[in-house]
Amino acid sequence: MTVHTVQLRINGEVTTVDVKAHWSLAYVIREKVGLTGTKTGCEMGTCGSCTVLLDEKPIFSCLRMAVDAEGHEIQTIEGVEVENGGELHPLQKSFIELHGMQCGFCTPGMILAAKALLENNPDPSEQEVREAIGGHLCRCGTYVRIVRSILDAAQAVRAS
Amino acid sequence: MASNTSVVGKSLPMIDAYEKVTGKLRYAADLPPLHRMHHAKVLRSPFAHAKVVHIDTSAAEALPGVSAVITHLDNIIGTKKTCGQIWNDQSFNFQGPIISPEVCYVGDEVAAVSAVDEETAKEALALIEVEYEELPAIFDLEESMKPDAPAVHPWGPNRLDPSLFTWGDVEQGFSESDLIIENRITLGNQQHAPLDRNACIAAWERDSVSVWTSTQALFWIRDALTEFFELSPSKVRVYSTPTGGSFGLWWGNNFMILTVALARKAGRPVRLVLTRDEVQTTVKRRERPLIDAKIGIKKDGTMVAQRYQHVMDNGAYGNKFDPYQSVADIYPTPHGHVEFIGVATNLLPAGCMRGVGDLTLAYAIEQTVDMAAEKIGMDPLEFHLKNHWQTGDICHTSQEVVFAKLLFNREPEVRLSSSGLAECIRKGAEMIGWKEKWQGWGKPSSVQGNKVRGVGMGISTHISGLAFFGFNGITIKVNPDGTMALTTGIGRMGQAGDTTQAMVAAEVLGVELEDVNVIDGDTEVCGHTMVTFGSNGMHMVARATKAAAEDAKKQILEFAGRHLEASPEDLEIKDRRIFVKGSPDKGVGLGELMSTPIYDYLAPPEVIGRASEGVEFHRAGKMMIADFAEVEIDTRTAQMKVIKFVACHDSGTIVNPAVCENQVAGGYYQSMGLATTEHLVFDDETGAILNPNFLDYKIVGPLDMPDPDVYFEEVYDEDGPYGAKGIGEGVTCAVPIAISNAVYNAIGVRLDPPITPDKLMRALKNA
């Protein structure tokens, strides 16, 4: 099978990877680049745990081909702290303080989806928050506190 | 409620929250690759029951990059534990050899391959030629129980011997009753469906093996590998990583043993990561019950006798034969007869899932009780308050009773250590507005156009660990700066067990939560905790944690006594400082004490607190639950909407309120799935699961249900650390009951979960 050499810009760092055409971005991020904060729960776009930001928009990285991700700015959960100058993002702080997680598996995807929401809409309603994470499952059923964490972080972002 | 505590009772953040929000927490599939590591794939049976009459792996073995292929011809079979009997462990999904020539469900293992990468391993699977001879398969519980039914598997009967509990004289009880109510129910097939796809990595070094996997059953796996491969426990080291949800799924499983066997044959580390399809169809599901319930009551609502037969579909390899804790005792009656029967089918193996029978049997009991209350025209609230379980009541059907009989041939008495059930029922009724909304049986609380609303309630209970789970070992080592390391075998499934154990230790030792570093998940380092199940963390494991902390405290106070020239009995420890009671100025900081040489030793102190604690089972700490629901049904479209849900829990002292609220809310969402959308669909013809993914097996999302209102009745349990009982499993148990009863009151028809629009549509049509 043909191997393509692509340059992926992830969290501001360029990595050159040899990928096969059918490899998903999620697979390459995890298995070839070693950024395992991106989780792959279903590999078919139904759980949201592999969400990354592609040019600041949330995408399910299991549905995006790695060969098709060249030339874009990709951010994974590992990049959020880096981008914030080594400090936790207000969302991360809120999730910690308000227990916006249980097992933590859906957390990176939830935080990235929420980050994209707050960048476009710093004052979302509860319904808008729920819609922004509407494609994300949390089998621990932590929705109450995930939503509360996002709303709390929105307030912190607005205040800053 | 615990009083005068400084750490216990606070919603402190989980100690691994930072790792979780930054993506740094490593589940098994996130671990970095080991040198020379190969990747595994499993060939699975397309038939529900068949013999492998011929298998040819030569082409697969010849494929470049393939390091090992195993099949039934390798005859990998454990014998040590069982003295030549068939190897059997109910949590591992196989009996006898790990790969058998007879496959017993669609998905059963036929071969496993390790290769340089997953793609090569997959390619190798396609090169394996298998010839099957199909055997008769049984998918139906009742069919399987018939005397002339074909055998589901090559060992043992389809129907296991019942576990039987009787008290009083049940027939006499029925004859003394004014009314008898009978009922038969079943529920859907629920799948644990955690988001994480588990992995196992195994590496041999001569005759020793190390295993990394996401599990809540660290020592169970260690012991199983020890027995199966005939190794000393000193040669097996299991590292458990956190699980991305478990809900009872990640105990031991065959895929772990397969990985270990492959790594041995390949002579290199091997990693197996399950696909979503494999997680859904080859590990485990909740046992599907078929329950016959019969209760006898007096006209005044007093319950006199109860009889339950709880048959459970164990699937192909499940081995459940014992009762589910004590929910059959939730209504104390002078007469009772309860039996639990495990039955095999050629379907995905079944086993425990969060709440187990205290969900399924409670559902049957509560539907029947609801019907009984209706017959005598008594408000269900009143009925529940008249008959419920109270502190000191007896637990006839406890698993402890079964194990006392099995191990010692004795029949002990087990009594309930505390119950806040009445308060939970009263509080829940108030919160849902029962008085205003309950209009009588099968009568909606309100009607607006096509929309009818109804309210319903249900109660249940669950254990807080069981004695036969064994001893829990904890150590606490105090560092020179006064921080400390706590070792525990408690699993990390999202229940924050590490956090709450550390909170108990911090409370005893007068330090902050951040001072306690928890080391878990290593069988060579941590003390024994068999499995984190049966909600044993807060009531049972924490007893050992508290004792270990008290042991460390005793040592600290002795050293501090020498340092301060005071008697240890006169000392107190608080805010990271040891001081003379009544003279807070005369004291020493814990860090200073631990780093300052003591004259007698010419060295600073060394403190290691330790405890290994079992629990005596005569007093059982059980959580109590009362749930209330209000639903709205559109009689035109048959769509159901949950309007309000109230969950009231007595889990004793609430050690970390935010953690416990998350547990209750999570149990509600999960059980809401069971009540409304979740059902594994087995193909009638083949026994294959038709919905092995989140697209077709719907779990509840963030837009689907209203948030529950949660209330804790904090009854102090004398046996629990700081008065705490368990919580994690009971949270699911009463949810479907409240929903079903609410649906009944809205439309006047009783439906069993999952209550889907098609069932509602038919019910509305016939109503």
pLDDT digits (tens, 9 = 90+) for B516-558: 999 999 999 999 988 899 999 999 999 999 999 999 999 999 9
Flag whether residue A51 sits within 8 Å of chain B, measured between CB atoms: no
Using an 8 Å CB-CB cutoff, list chain B residues near A137: 195, 694, 699, 701
Using an 8 Å CB-CB cutoff, list chain B residues near A40: 197
Using an 8 Å CB-CB cutoff, list chain B residues near A94: none
CB-CB under 8 Å, B244 with A104: yes
Mark the ranges of chain B whose per-residue pLDDT is less than 70.
Answer: 1-3, 79-93, 324-325
Determine the distance in angstroms separating the CA of B677 from the nearest CA of chain A, rounded to an integer. Answer: 14
Determine the distance in angstroms separating the CA of B3 from the nearest CA of chain A, rounded to an integer. Answer: 24
Give dist(CA B194, CA B492) in Å, integer. 14
Q: Which residue of B has its CA nearest to A1?
A: B119
Give dist(CA B408, CA B538) in Å, integer. 28
Flag whether residue B197 sits within 8 Å of chain A, measured between CB atoms: yes
Give dist(CA B680, CA B698) in Å, integer. 10
Q: Are B261 and B76 in contact (CB under 8 A)?
A: yes
The pLDDT value recorded for residue B289 is 94
- Smallest Cα–Cα separation from B551: which of B489, B472, B483, B608? B608
Of B13, B195, B245, the CB nearest to A99: B13
- Smallest Cα–Cα separation from B515: which of B474, B537, B539, B486? B486
- Smallest Cα–Cα separation from B243: which of B262, B209, B218, B226? B218
Count the Cβ atoms, other than its own, within 10 Å of residue B349.
29
Summarised one tens digit per residue, pLDDT across range A40-73 is 999 999 999 999 999 999 999 999 999 999 999 9
Q: How many CB pairs under 8 A join A and B?
A: 169
Torsion of CA B251, B535, B233, B92, to 10 degrees: -20
Using an 8 Å CB-CB cutoff, list chain B residues near A76: 23
Using an 8 Å CB-CB cutoff, list chain A residues near B665: 141-145
Give dist(CA B272, CA B98) in Å, integer. 16
Q: Are B82 and B88 in contact (CB under 8 A)?
A: yes
Flag whether residue A26 sits within 8 Å of chain B, measured between CB atoms: no
Torsion of CA B141, B147, B152, B154, to 10 degrees: 150
Determine the distance in angstroms separating the CA of B493 from the nearest CA of chain A, rounded to an integer. Answer: 5
Flag whether residue A97 sits within 8 Å of chain B, measured between CB atoms: yes
What are the strands of the beta sheet with B577-580, ordered from one edge? Answer: B571-574, B577-580, B583-589
Of B21, B246, B702, the CB nearest to A92: B21
CB-CB under 8 Å, A136 with B23: no
Cis-peptide, bond into residue B754, ω within 30° of zero: yes
Torsion of CA B718, B723, B729, B731, to 10 degrees: 110
Domain A3-80 indexed as CATH 3.40.1350.10: no
Give dist(CA B445, CA B452) in Å, integer. 8
- Smallest Cα–Cα separation from B263: which of B112, B109, B45? B112
Give dist(CA B341, CA B355) in Å, integer. 18
Count the Cβ atoms, other than its own, within 10 Å of residue A101.
30
The pLDDT value recorded for residue B86 is 60
Coil, helix or strand for B193?
coil
The pLDDT value recorded for residue B82 is 47
Residue from B16, B22, B280 to probe the interface with A (highest A Cβ count within 10 Å): B22
What is the H or E stretch that residue B374 is in? helix B356-375
- Smallest Cα–Cα separation from B213: which of B273, B267, B173? B273
Give dist(CA A5, CA B90) in Å, integer. 48
CB-CB under 8 Å, A147 with B29: no
- Smallest Cα–Cα separation from B190: which of B327, B358, B360, B399? B360
> Given the DSSP bridges, would you call strands A51-54 and A73-75 parallel, antiparallel or unpaired?
antiparallel
The pLDDT value recorded for residue B396 is 86
Q: Are B676 and B698 in contact (CB under 8 A)?
A: no
DSSP single-letter state for residue B28: G
Q: Which residue of B has its CA nearest to A148?
A: B707
Using an 8 Å CB-CB cutoff, list chain B residues near A42: 195, 276, 693-694
Residue B508 tokens, joined: 């005893």
Q: Where are the beta strands (DSSP E) in chain A?
A: 3-10, 13-20, 51-54, 57-60, 73-75
Alpha-carbon distances of B173 from B309, B380, B413, rounded to whole Å: 17, 22, 21
CB-CB under 8 Å, A103 with B242: yes
Alpha-carbon distances of A112 from A77, B34, B685, rounded to whole Å: 7, 30, 44
Flag whether residue A24 sits within 8 Å of chain B, measured between CB atoms: no
- Residue A4: is its pLDDT beyond 60? yes
Using an 8 Å CB-CB cutoff, list chain A residues near B16: 104
What's A88-159's CATH class?
Answer: mainly alpha
Give dist(CA B711, CA B619) in Å, integer. 25
Coil, helix or strand for B498?
helix
Which are the contacts of B44, defined by CB distance < 8 A and separation ≥ 6? B106, B107, B108, B109, B110, B278, B282
CB-CB under 8 Å, A143 with B702: yes
Torsion of CA B241, B245, B247, B253, to 10 degrees: -50
Using an 8 Å CB-CB cutoff, list chain B residues near A83: none
Flag whether residue A144 sits within 8 Å of chain B, measured between CB atoms: yes
- The domain limits of chain A are 3-80, 88-159
CB-CB under 8 Å, B21 with A101: yes
- Per-residue DSSP letters for B354-368? TTHHHHHHHHHHHHH
The pLDDT value recorded for residue B88 is 63
The pLDDT value recorded for residue B403 is 83
- Per-residue DSSP letters for B397-438? T-HHHHHHHHHH------EE----HHHHHHHHHHHHTHHHH-
Give dist(CA A151, CA A133) in Å, integer. 12
Give dist(CA B473, CA B490) in Å, integer. 10
What are the strands of the beta sheet with A13-20, ordered from one edge? Answer: A13-20, A3-10, A73-75, A51-54, A57-60
Q: Are B314 and B340 in contact (CB under 8 A)?
A: no
Of A39, A77, A137, the CB nearest to B22: A77
Using an 8 Å CB-CB cutoff, list chain B residues near A133: 702
Alpha-carbon distances of B729 from A89, B247, B623, B667, rounded to whole Å: 33, 8, 9, 8
Which domains, ranges and CATH numbers included, belong to chain B? 17-25+467-613 (3.30.365.10), 31-135+193-281 (3.90.1170.50), 285-466+618-766 (3.30.365.10)
Of B196, B667, B695, the CB nearest to A44: B695
Task: Quote the distance between the C-alpha of residue B565 and its chain's center.
Answer: 50
Of B17, B245, B662, the CB nearest to A105: B245
Residue type, B89: D
- Smallest Cα–Cα separation from B689: which of B128, B198, B139? B139
Give dist(CA A152, CA A143) in Å, integer. 14
Q: Are B730 and B421 in contact (CB under 8 A)?
A: no
Question: Which B positions 664-693 lie with beta carbon below 8 A of chain A?
Answer: 665-670, 693
Q: Are B63 and B120 in contact (CB under 8 A)?
A: yes
Alpha-carbon distances of B529 from A103, B221, B222, B281, B457, rounded to whole Å: 20, 11, 11, 28, 36
The pLDDT value recorded for residue B227 is 84
Q: Are B541 and B490 in contact (CB under 8 A)?
A: yes
DSSP single-letter state for residue B644: E
Give dist(CA B55, CA B656) in Å, integer. 55
CB-CB under 8 Å, B13 with A96: yes
Give dist(CA B657, CA B609) in Å, integer. 27
